[in-house]
Amino acid sequence: MSQKLNIAPEVFAYMEHVTGTDGVAVRVNLSKEKIEKINQICNSFNNDAGELINVLHETQHAFGYLPAEVQDVIAHNLHLSVAQVYAVVTFYSFFSMIPKGEHPISICTGTACYVRGAEKVLEEFKKELQLKVGETSADGKFSINCLRCVGACGLAPVVLVGEKVYGRVSPDGVKAIIGEYKK
């Protein structure tokens, strides 16, 4: 077993017992619970490589993001190379390898929101938080992402902060929204 993996002692102790869905040891730096959760998701798709995107979606939904260690387990279970999984994760913008902020900000850039100025709202969030799309602030509080139509076109442009929906957001209103979460 390689020591180069930078494994926490408790995880290291557990690793010898960690197995993928095929019973073969997987060498990763994850808790038992997380590996079991990934195995369960892969199993629910019959460990079918053709279901990779669905497996990644479910896993990201469960963990919030897809770090390399998680991709390792998925690759192992679906009998794919780590490079194949990584290629898909990095190709699609809706997958992220970076943990979201405590207050994830999602700007809808679907057609209705776009037409009503979502781009300018997005630019204002980027400027105020000094972040690019897909980035998380150094203090871990905020992250910015774009979404396609969230089904609230009547309220366009729409912004979500976590689960909370903000409608008819203008660039002038961005500071106040951020301010709510800085308290």
CA distance 35 to 150: 31
88 scored as a contact of ligand FES (CB under 6 A): no
Q: How far is the CB of 166 from ligand FES (least distance, A)?
A: 11
Q: How far is the CB of 159 from ligand FES (least distance, A)?
A: 10
Which residue among 53, 80, 97, 150 contacts ligand FES (CB under 6 A)?
150
CA distance 127 to 28: 37
Q: Is residue 40 within 8 Å of 70, Cβ to Cβ? A: no
121 scored as a contact of ligand FES (CB under 6 A): no
110 scored as a contact of ligand FES (CB under 6 A): yes
Q: Where are the alpha helices (DSSP H) in 45-129?
A: 52-63, 68-77, 82-91, 111-115, 118-129
Q: How far is the CB of 106 from ligand FES (least distance, A)?
A: 10
Q: Is the peptide bond before 9 cis (omega within 30 degrees of 0)?
A: no
149 scored as a contact of ligand FES (CB under 6 A): yes
CA distance 106 to 158: 9
104 scored as a contact of ligand FES (CB under 6 A): no
Please identify, using beta-carbon distances, which residue of 80 and 152 lies nearer to ligand FES.
Answer: 152
160 scored as a contact of ligand FES (CB under 6 A): no
Q: Is residue 41 within 8 Å of 55, Cβ to Cβ? A: yes
How far are the Cα atoms of 25, 114, 142 from residue 176, in angstroms, in the given order? 50, 21, 14
158 scored as a contact of ligand FES (CB under 6 A): yes
**Which among 7-15, 74-82, 90-98, 145-153 is the span making contact with ligand FES, rule CB under 6 A?**
145-153
Tokens of 115: 């037409």
Under the rule (CB under 6 A), what is the footprint of ligand FES? 108, 110-113, 149-153, 156, 158
